[in-house]
Amino acid sequence: DVTDAQVLLKLGDFITTDHISPAGAIPSPSAAETYLLAHGVQRPDFNSFGSCRGNHEVMIRGTFANVRIRNQLAPETEGGMTIHFPTGDVLPVYDAAMLFAKEDTPLVVLAGSQYGTGSSRDWAAKGTLLLGVKAVICTSFERIHRSNLVGMGVLPLCFKEGEDADSIGLDGTETFDIPISDDVQPLQTLKVSARKADGSCIEFETTVRLDTPVDVEYYRNGGILHTVVRKLAE
pLDDT at residue 154, rounded to an integer = 98
Q: How many CA atoms lie within 13 A of 138 on its CB side?
A: 26
pLDDT at residue 151, rounded to an integer = 97
pLDDT at residue 17, rounded to an integer = 96
Cβ burial 83-101 (10 Å sphere, 16+ → b, else e): bbbeeeeebbbbbbbbbbe
Q: Where are the alpha helices (DSSP H) in 83-173?
A: 93-102, 122-130, 143-151
Centre a 10 Å sphere on the Cβ of residue 33 and count the other Cβ atoms it contains.
Answer: 18
pLDDT at residue 117, rounded to an integer = 95
pLDDT at residue 171, rounded to an integer = 95
Each of the 234 residues of the chain gets a pLDDT tens digit; together they read: 999 999 999 999 999 999 999 999 998 889 999 999 999 999 889 989 999 999 999 999 999 999 999 999 998 888 889 999 999 999 999 999 999 999 999 999 999 999 999 988 999 999 999 999 999 999 999 999 999 999 999 999 999 999 999 999 999 999 999 999 989 999 999 999 999 999 999 999 999 999 999 999 999 999 999 999 999 999
pLDDT at residue 124, rounded to an integer = 96
pLDDT at residue 119, rounded to an integer = 87
Angstrom distance (rounded) from CA 152 to CA 43: 32
Q: What angle do CA 154, 107, 22 make, to 5 degrees?
A: 70
**Comparing C-alpha atoms, which of 159, 155, 165, 172 is closest to residue 220?**
155
Q: What is the pTM of this model?
A: 0.94
pLDDT at residue 185, rounded to an integer = 96
Give 76: exposed, middle or buried? Use CB within 10 Å, 0-12, 13-18, 19+.
exposed
- Is residue 208 within a helix (H) or strand (E), and if so which, with residue range? strand 201-208
Q: Which residues are CB-neighbours of 72 under 8 A, at least 6 positions away? A: 9, 10, 11, 12, 172
- Identify whether the C-beta of residue 73 lies closer than 8 Å to the C-beta of residue 172: yes
Centre a 10 Å sphere on the Cβ of residue 183 and count the other Cβ atoms it contains.
Answer: 8
pLDDT at residue 138, rounded to an integer = 98
pLDDT at residue 78, rounded to an integer = 84
Q: Which residues are CB-neighbours of 30 under 8 A, at least 6 positions away? A: 61, 62, 65, 80, 92
